[in-house]
Amino acid sequence: MVALSVREGARQVMVWTVCGVAAAVLVACGGGGSSDNDSEKDDVLTILHINDHHSTLASKTATLQLPVDGKTTAVTVDAAGFPRVTAAIDAIAAQSTHVLKLHAGDAVTGTLYFNRAGADGEADMAMLNTVCFDAYTLGNHEFDKGDSGLKGILDRLKTGRCATPVLSANVQFGANSALNPSRAPNMVSPSTVVERGGQKIGIVGLTIAQKTKASSSPDKDTLFEDEAVAAQREIDKLQAQGVKRIVLLSHIGYDNDRSIAKKLRGVDVIVGGDSHTLLGPDAMKTIGVGTPGGAYPTNTTDLDGKPVCIVQAWEYSQVVGELKVKFDKDGVVSQCEGTPHVLIGDDFKIAGTAATEAQRTSIISSVNAAGFLRITAPSAQAAAVLKPFTEKVASFNVTKVAYAPQELCSRRVPGGEGSSDYSRSSAACNTEGSVSLRGGDIQQLVAQSYLEVANEHYGGADISLQSGGGVRIPLNGEVTAANAIQVLPFGNMLFRLDVTGTEVKGMLEDGLEAVYGAGGSTGPYPYTGGMRFDVNAKAAFGSRVTGIEVRDTTTGQWAALDQGKTYRLFVLSFNANGGDGYKTLASVPAARRLDIGVLDADVFFNYIESQPKDATTGLPALKRLSTDLYSTKSFVDAR
């Protein structure tokens, strides 16, 4: 079997043939190997999909580098937003037959729409119900509020008009879970079967296992099975029922999707999420959309060498993926092609001024030539559903609480560049040397805020811990209450633990292992208040952290960590219970842990209120900490 790639504008068409001859649109083999009758038995499925919108429901301003009158020009335009997602899906579906609409997880958490515009997830589920997805798989962030919180979110989805199936083949809800099948029958299913054009299509859901258990908050007895084992079991079950066409709706990440395809038999398409991977042509980088991590679609083969098409639709309601899959009469993929539609409006501006008619004509020509930019007006119906939630967010947004005279850069880990290392900082911050040396300014400030507020209000602490991925946005200029909560959107309570020096060392090694060990991710990287250390990411587990020093809260003097001494640690409940891979903290006995009973965002607000006022704005000034207070003293990158 041979796969040939044919480029058509923004589309990459993959045609598989067993005779070595291919055309861009139809497969035709000589010597009587194919006939018109066989072609008539072929069928095409259109899959429209999104993933990882993370409560990002409103539109935003985007800047694109487009040819205008022969010159590359910065053009700003209103873009993204869930009402545009709804409109694009509706429009494409109306022009297609045999359509599947899929959401690959992480619909919730990340903006104020999640927890300040109504009940947790209410706005997101209302927006999902403007689309009526054929299936929605559980991502790791769906578990951020525990199983009970997820049950509430899914109840809001189920009470809508769509009755969207919620899938995960590898989650096993614990006996006491609110989502145990005995309490919530059919709330979450391993798979679902739909029929399109007289053909049955099986959709199997997957949730990333290790990351969800380590970095979210599922109930302790809710377990996540190996993804490949669970997927194959469900595929075999569907095939035994006569279902030939299998779509894996996967929230396990792009690299894992490519890996798992090789381990499975019978999967045809993988619609993915979790890694926030932009797929598409290289022109996306040139135009300023982003840097693609692979082709759309990405094509590989399964364990038996049969074709598998892999797609993902980036993040934050910016892209709707459109994948067209042709199957032969035996239900085997014969062709994949598609477009990742980047959703934009048509309110084009150049240097802040509305484009002239001549400029608009040139811009629209450039947009059409790109092939992946899609001018889309927001759905009026979806916008009407979103409006009351937007009004609630807007009323909360207006309160100004602080001023950051210099951008507090966000960087999950120090070291080299990589999209997962950043978190919505400006380009200047992302290339600044200080974040590569010491990590994020805002992450460090949050860790310091815990320490200082603990010593002011909550019985004192020697050190604090904040994992890098738990801090979501940078701050710059005027800071509203909404901005401050977006920094810490997950609503964690703070604990105080009495930990030995040996446990402190173990805690740091746990965090770095969760980053640099097998299956690691950038989120767990440790930021500490009142403590600093050297990191060698190339070293083995147990040897990555050296030179640990603790700062005396009274004198300000630094001294080497005493392995036998007991330190008071102020830390999120999430990490205290082992989240983000902090196993050492989870092992601290109950006698040495105290639930302080205060929210992380409230502690941050207390810190803000304690800061000296900015002379110009009269607001508390949030400034970068002095270099000696940053927890990472030196860093050797693993890359």
pLDDT score, position 405:
96
pLDDT score, position 22: 31
Percent of the chain with pLDDT over 70: 92
Q: Are 84 and 62 in contact (CB under 8 A)?
A: no
Q: How many CB atoms lie within 10 A of CB 159?
A: 10
pLDDT computed for residue 160 by the predictor? 82
Average pLDDT of span 54-69: 94
H helices of 204-279, where?
Answer: 209-215, 227-240, 254-261
Cα distance between the two ends of the chain: 36
The pLDDT score that the predictor gives to residue 392 is: 92
Question: What is the Cα–Cα distance from 251 to 277, expressed in whole angstroms?
Answer: 12
Cβ contact 462:530 at 8 Å: yes
So what's the pLDDT on residue 358? 95
Ranking 29-38, 324-333, 441-450 by mean pLDDT, the lowest is 29-38
pLDDT at 423 (0 to 100): 60
Q: Round to whole Å and give the CA distance between 527 and 590.
A: 24
- Token readout for 579 is 């989240």
Helices 254-261, 227-240: axis angle to 10 degrees equals 50
State how far the Cα of 612 lies from the Cα of 265, in Å rounded to an integer.
Answer: 63
List the Cα angle 82/83/88 in 5-degree steps.
95
Contact 581, 511 (CB under 8 A): yes
Q: How confident is the model at residue 3 (pLDDT cuts 50, 70, 90)?
A: very low
Instruction: Please state, in angstroms and rounded to a whole number, the distance separating the CA atoms of residues 628 and 379.
Output: 51
Helix (H) or strand (E) holding 84, with range, is: helix 82-94
Residue 444 in 3-state DSSP? Answer: helix
- Return the DSSP state at 447: H
- pLDDT, residue 601, reads 87
Q: Which amino acid is at 289?
A: V
Torsion (CA) 283, 286, 287, 290 in degrees, nearest 10: 80
Parallel/antiparallel/unpaired status of strands 71-79 and 349-350: antiparallel
The mean of the pLDDT values for the chain is 90
The answer, yes or no, to whether residue 397 has pLDDT greater than 90, is no
Q: Is pLDDT of 41 > 80?
A: no
User: CB–CB of 275/208 below 8 Å?
Assistant: no
Structure-token pair, residue 282: 């290289």
* Whether the predicted pLDDT of 145 surpasses 60: yes
CA distance 496 to 460: 9
The reported pLDDT for the residue numbered 133 is: 98
Q: What is the pTM of this model?
A: 0.75
Sign of CA dihedral 435, 439, 445, 448: negative
Percent pLDDT > 90 in the chain is 77
Beta bridge partners of 571: 465, 495
For residue 607, give the nearest of 622, 626, 628, 627 by alpha carbon: 622
Q: Which of 4, 12, 3 is nearest to 337 (CA)?
A: 12
Whole-Å CA distances, 465 to 123, 145, 269, 419, 524: 31, 20, 41, 24, 10
Q: How far is CA 156 from CA 103, 124, 126, in A?
A: 16, 9, 8
Average pLDDT over residues 252-275: 97
Residues in CB range of 83: below 8 A, 6 or more apart = 59, 130, 378, 379, 380, 382, 383, 386
pLDDT at 434 over 90: no
pLDDT at residue 45 above 80?
yes
- Entry field: residues in the chain: 639
> Quick check: 416 pLDDT over 90?
no
Q: How confident is the model at residue 394 (pLDDT cuts 50, 70, 90)?
A: confident
Among 33-47, 91-105, 253-267, 388-402, which is the least confidently predicted range? 33-47
Distances (CA, A) of 489 to 55, 182, 253, 292, 386: 11, 32, 23, 28, 20
Cα–Cα distance between 627 and 493 in angstroms, integer?
A: 28
CA angle 54, 57, 63 (to 5 degrees): 95
Nearby residues of 199 by Cβ (< 8 Å), 6 or more positions away: 43, 98, 244, 245, 327, 331
| Residue 253 backbone class (left: φ over 0; alpha: ψ -120 to 50; beta: rest) | left
Could you tell me which residues are beta bridge partners of residue 594? 496
Q: Which of 31, 34, 30 is nearest to 334 (CA)?
A: 34
Residue 6 reports pLDDT greater than 80: no
Q: How confident is the model at residue 184 (pLDDT cuts 50, 70, 90)?
A: very high
**Residue ranges of the alpha helices (H) in 178-253?**
209-215, 227-240
* Whether the predicted pLDDT of 207 surpasses 90: yes
Q: What digits encode the pLDDT tens for the residues 15-34?
A: 443 333 232 333 333 333 33
Kindly tell me if the per-residue pLDDT of 535 is higher than 50. Answer: yes
Other beta carbons within 10 Å of 554: 7
Angular region, 439: left φ>0, alpha ψ -120 to 50, beta rest: left
Q: What is the pLDDT of residue 422?
A: 60
Map tokens 């809001």 to a residue. Answer: 156
Q: Are 605 and 485 in contact (CB under 8 A)?
A: no
Structure confidence by residue, pLDDT tens digits, 602-630: 889 889 999 999 999 999 999 999 999 99
d(CA 430, CA 439): 10
Nearest residue to 276 (alpha-carbon basis) of 294, 300, 297: 294
Return the residue matching tokens 């600044």: 432
User: Above 70 in pLDDT, residue 106?
Assistant: yes
Q: What does the pLDDT read at residue 24? A: 30
